[in-house]
Amino acid sequence: MKKETVVRVACKVVGPIETNCYILSCPETRKAIIVDPGGNPDVIEIFIAEKRLEPVAIVCTHGHSDHIASVADLQERYRIPFALHGDDVPIVTLSIREAPLWGMGRIREPKIDRVLSEGDAITFGTVTGKVLHTPGHTPGGISILFDGIVLVGDTLFNRSIGRTDFAGGDLDTILESIRTELFTLPGETIVYCGHGPSTSIGDERINNPFFENA
């Protein structure tokens, strides 16, 4: 059986809220996706040029302004589609309007080319990831699962969870998402968060204070 290609993961911290933008690439083909470009498109473009990557899509884990701020600029630069879960389409519109309140300034509203759902595949080169619907921070929050790693956006953090006091957020929902979609993954799975340091599923099962009595 052919061994699954190991995805390459690079992180650039962008924007005023220090969002982790991930550039995932296929080592065999150099095709790549850009996940959560929340600002500083020039930083993202320089990295892509230096590594000679070929972006084929932009994917956002949710629709908040600090995760979508540079989508429109990068769409224009690379002529590539933007994918987002369908339940977060209204969140994008709201976030564009509220962006100045969060110090994001005025940002352009991107065109949503692909509406994602649970179980959808995200493919670049010989790499394929799977969409996990992990609502709670927003209604359409997703995580993206690859072999041995998962990108979780603002659903799960190192020793914490995402805020649920924004429009569409819900504490019970985010806790259920983490329990049923993330904590069922192998413990050694590396967790790449939307802000702050990475962690692992096993570490969070044991040490995350929101699940002490789970």
Question: Contact, 91 vs 122, CB < 8 A?
Answer: no
pLDDT for position 4:
58
Q: What total of structural domains would you count in the chain?
A: 1
Question: Contact, 39 vs 56, CB < 8 A?
Answer: no
The predicted model gives 96-118 an average pLDDT of 94
pLDDT score of 159 more than 50: yes
The predicted model gives 148-166 an average pLDDT of 97
Half-sphere exposure at residue 105, Cβ-oriented, CA atoms within 13 angstroms: 9
Q: In degrees, to the nearest 5, what angle opens at C-alpha 98 toward C-alphas 92 and 101?
A: 145
The whole domain housing 194 covers 8-211
The predicted model gives 101-128 an average pLDDT of 95
The predicted model gives 45-56 an average pLDDT of 98
pLDDT for position 1:
34
**pLDDT confidence bin for 11, thresholds 50/70/90:** very high
Which ranges of 8-158 does DSSP label H, i.e. alpha helix? 41-50, 65-68, 71-78, 89-98
Query: 18 in a domain, yes or no?
Result: yes
pTM of the model as a whole: 0.95
The predicted model gives 25-51 an average pLDDT of 98
CATH number, residue 121: 3.60.15.10
What is the CA 21 to chain-centroid distance, rounded?
Answer: 8
Query: 1 in a domain, yes or no?
Result: no
pLDDT score of 213 more than 70: no
pLDDT for position 79:
98
pLDDT for position 84:
98
Q: In degrees, to the nearest 5, what angle opens at C-alpha 114 toward C-alphas 108 and 119?
A: 130
Query: 39 in a domain, yes or no?
Result: yes
pLDDT for position 44:
98
